[in-house]
Structure 1
Amino acid sequence: MAERIIKLPDVGEGIAEAELVEWHVKVGDIVREDDLIAAVMTDKATVEIPSPVEGEVTWVGAEIGDTVAIGSALVKLKVSGDGAASEAPAEAEAPAEPPKEKPAGAPPPAAPVAAAEPAPKQLPTPKPAAPARPAPAITTPAPRRPVGEKPLASPAVRLKAREAGIDLRQVQGSGPARRVTHEDIDAFILRGPEALAKSGLVARTGITDVKIVGLRRRIAEKMALSKSRIPHITIVEEVDVSALEDLRAALNKKPTAERPKLTILPFLMRAMVKALGEQPNLNAIYDDEAGIVHQHAGIDIGIATQAPSGLMVPVVKHAEARDLWGCAIELSRLAERARDGSATRDELTGSTITITSLGALGGIATTPVINHPEVAIVGVNKIVVRPVWDGTTFVPRKMMNLSSSFDHRVIDGWDAAVFVQRLKELLETPATLFVDM
């Protein structure tokens, strides 16, 4: 047997280091070739690291949340001689020495047999061990963890447990370091209502410490940077979208691959293209250290998107060159890639202005945080039917509030108000979106 060191590989795009966000193994685990051993995050992309060989984990080189340099040791494995010949030549030569010391004749043929005997290299014994892990979670209820012991689980598993009303301390984890997995939660639920039943109202005194790592930490850093360096001014304006909603419903009657169903966002994107053409100072990046505002000719609109791992901002590049349906198709494609984790670095960077929308969950008004180093962000709130005075009587109208924030260091209140009023005008008379003015 020999030792094989697995290093953090080059994940591309000039990245020099990455943050360790998840271990799939622990010391003592048997891994097979191509089994996942860890996951790291660079910027907003998560990369999973597979094992190139089969062996037993003897050492792990970092803790979750640590920053690991490219090329540094990540895991050490105990592998068969052939699997580590390049890294442990002494181990590989050991079985060859005894045959050389023996006299010539009959013994030499026996030496190759001994050398060819490394059947243990195939590690047949550990293979059945893997499926045995989930058995305890299915057959027997797990004992409650002692007070103070924190169950290990990913944010997605914690959310699943919370939604099911499950105390994670009641669930025995089958993952590395007793980490609770999705399968453990499913098995706990399958045991029946008695596992979830409460005898009555009880005081809960436990404290769960959640380390902020990965995308969540990057979001926290970005928000802190934005709020600490940008003096925000926020304008909330109500918009009558009754005509726009009627037009949208008419256009959605016969969707095709080239003209899919439209949400309100493509209309807003086209309105922003027109308004920013008149006020290019809002389609800009502010380098506050150099004291320079970079006004961009191309309009690259970031769309704040909620993904399972956290908030991401895929970017619709050159919205000025896309029509209504072109914006819709690209928006749908990018949102799907952001949610399933396949979005590339290029698709998640380079925005010059951002839209944030909570859809039907949006309140009456919000105070969006600017996506640093941009200078403006447009927030969409939910559409509600409200009575509106038309000069003679009250009539029901579909109303929506826009909440827009601006960097007050470089955008005056007057310019911000002009921009918001232009958006209101374009959205309330949606036919103008299709007219060159």
Structure 2
Amino acid sequence: MARFTFNLPDIGEGIAEAEIVAMHVKPGDTVSEDQQIADMMTDKATVEMESPVSGKVVEVAGEAGDVIAIGSMLVVIETEGDVPEEVLADNAAAAEAVPEPEPEPMVEEPVEEPASAPPPAEPAPPPPSPPAPKAAPTPVMKASSAKVLATPAVRKRAAELGIDLADVRPNEEGRIRHADLDAFISYGARTGHAPAGITRPDETIKVIGLRRRIAENMAAAKRNIPHFTYVEECDVTELERLRAQLNEARGDRPKLTMLPLLITAICKTLPAFPMINARYDDEAGVVTRHGSVHLGMATQTDGGLMVPVIRDAQRLNLWQLAAEIVRLANAARDGSAKSNELSGSTLTVTSLGPLGGVATTPVINRPEVAIIGPNRIVERPMFVPDDNGGERIEKRKLMNISISCDHRVVDGWDAASFIQAIKRLIEAPALLLVA
């Protein structure tokens, strides 16, 4: 029997440490060569670590959420035979990556409890919940409630809320709709008779992995960057009409959303506003204004927000942008995005799609100096010129565009002028197709 200490290898250029987001083995487990033993997250990506040898796991470096240095112990494995020379060489090279002044604690040091110590006692059970109120989530309906006119969906919602439909005032047709339930709930809140919500037990969730990275990056951005946000309303009626026409003739090309059109407008506008497409190294006191547009695309995944990057977005046409948006979003969501596809952006766009709201104040993706947020498209009546030199009222599609900027680098006049220039393009969308 021999013990082999598997050191965390160099998993990315310039990476000094990595976080354990999942440890797939524990002491006592038997592992085979190339078996996945841990998932490690760096600033750029999550990497699956595989065992270089077969044997029995004796020790592990920690649990999910722990951060360990490159070159320090990840697992100790007890092997039956000799470890191949190439594995020993690679492992030794990994160990040499650890700077001498900052060594990890030696695994041979004594600890308060031996490895065979029994598991900690189970926490005391929570105190019993108070008795449920009479208005239980699924009450028995009164006889009068059955005679009320309402759809099954409305009845189900009322039952879940503990509302007797006989107490709800119907509309003029004598039918109760969701809006009538909303009005009843609002009235009940003012009079102290609102139904109680369903109580959920408290839960404690450890902030690890991508969620921790997001928390650290957002805190650093808000702590170091003096943000300001500018919002402008744009008429996208003609842009939406153009998008529909292009989609009708798209053939086997990907369907166009609003995003490729907006990105095209951004890329056409940026040459006149180089201070927007920039990164600020505040430690060195240097701003780099980039000629190419490496556009970050904020993407919601199951684990949290990720920002894949569209390289040289200014070189891509609408259809190429649409294809790249789909490819990168899918790669971010299924975990296949490479580290170079998740770093190096010079400007970021963030959109909540139909949930975009009236306006947003997005947080800058540091060290960039600006982030752009298109909001939800709404239809409203607007005064538009008529053929006789007067005005008429017409239904138009409107969308607000938000931009947050680093006030150390970008002035308010610059941000407003930049968005106004984008507005002119998207309100006259034929200009987007002009080279």
TM-score normalized with structure 2 length: 0.70
Q: Counterpart of 2:326?
A: 332
Contact 2:294 2:309 survives alignment (8 Å): yes
Contact 1:148 1:206 survives alignment (8 Å): no
The superposition leaves residues 161-207 of structure 1 with CA deviations (integer Å, 9 ceiling, x where unpaired) of xxxxxxxxxxxxxxxxxxxxxxxxxxxxxxxxxxxxxxxx9996854
Contact 2:372 2:401 survives alignment (8 Å): yes
Q: Counterpart of 1:63?
A: 63
Report the residue type matching 2:222 in the other structure: K
Q: Does 1:54 align with 2:48?
A: no
Where do 1:212-223 residues align within 5 Å? 212-223=207-218
Tell me how far 1:85 sits from its aligned partner: 10
Tell me how far 1:3 sits from its aligned partner: 2.7
- State the secondary structure of the residue aligned to 2:284: coil
Q: Counterpart of 1:394?
A: 393
The superposition leaves residues 9-63 of structure 1 with CA deviations (integer Å, 9 ceiling, x where unpaired) of 3324343321111111222223233322111111131111122333322221223
Q: Counterpart of 1:345?
A: 339
Describe the shift of the 1:86–1:295 C-alpha distance in structure 2 as closer, same or farther (beyond 3 A). Answer: closer
Contact 1:37 1:50 survives alignment (8 Å): yes
Tell me how far 1:302 sits from its aligned partner: 0.8
Where do 1:55-94 residues align within 5 Å? 55-81=55-81
Where do 1:298-317 residues align within 5 Å? 298-317=292-311
Report the residue type matching 1:352 in the other structure: T
Q: Counterpart of 1:250?
A: 245
Tell me how far 1:352 sits from its aligned partner: 1.2
Distance 1:81 1:234 in 2: 63
1:364 corresponds, among 345, 358, 366, to 358
2:223 corresponds, among 228, 244, 256, to 228
Q: Does 1:238 align with 2:236?
A: no
Gaps of 5+ in 1: 89-143, 150-200
Tell me how far 1:86 sits from its aligned partner: 10
Distance 1:207 1:54 in 2: 42
Report the residue type matching 1:225 in the other structure: A
Where do 1:79-158 residues align within 5 Å? 79-81=79-81, 147=125
Describe the shift of the 1:209–1:84 C-alpha distance in structure 2 as closer, same or farther (beyond 3 A). Answer: farther
- State the secondary structure of the residue aligned to 2:350: strand
Higher helix share: 1
Q: Counterpart of 1:211?
A: 206
Where do 1:159-178 residues align within 5 Å? none
The superposition leaves residues 38-95 of structure 1 with CA deviations (integer Å, 9 ceiling, x where unpaired) of 111111311111223333222212232222222322112233235689999xxxxxxx
Contact 1:353 1:376 survives alignment (8 Å): yes
Tell me how far 1:8 sits from its aligned partner: 1.7
Distance 1:333 1:204 in 2: 41
Report the residue type matching 1:433 in the other structure: L
TM-score normalized with structure 1 length: 0.70
Distance 2:212 2:230 in 1: 29
Contact 1:283 1:375 survives alignment (8 Å): yes
Report the residue type matching 1:325 in the other structure: W
Distance 1:49 1:230 in 2: 36
Q: Counterpart of 2:104?
A: none
Report the residue type matching 1:208 in the other structure: E
Distance 1:68 1:316 in 2: 31
The Cα RMSD (Å) is 2.8
Contact 1:2 1:84 survives alignment (8 Å): no
Q: Counterpart of 2:275?
A: 281
Distance 2:124 2:26 in 1: 22
Contact 2:52 2:87 survives alignment (8 Å): no
- State the secondary structure of the residue aligned to 2:206: coil
1:272 corresponds, among 253, 266, 279, to 266
Distance 1:311 1:334 in 2: 13
Contact 1:216 1:310 survives alignment (8 Å): yes
Describe the shift of the 1:423–1:50 C-alpha distance in structure 2 as closer, same or farther (beyond 3 A). Answer: same
- State the secondary structure of the residue aligned to 1:233: strand
Where do 1:171-186 residues align within 5 Å? none
Contact 1:369 1:377 survives alignment (8 Å): yes
Percentage identity across aligned positions? 54
Contact 1:302 1:314 survives alignment (8 Å): yes
Report the residue type matching 1:235 in the other structure: Y
Q: Counterpart of 2:407?
A: 408
- State the secondary structure of the residue aligned to 1:282: coil
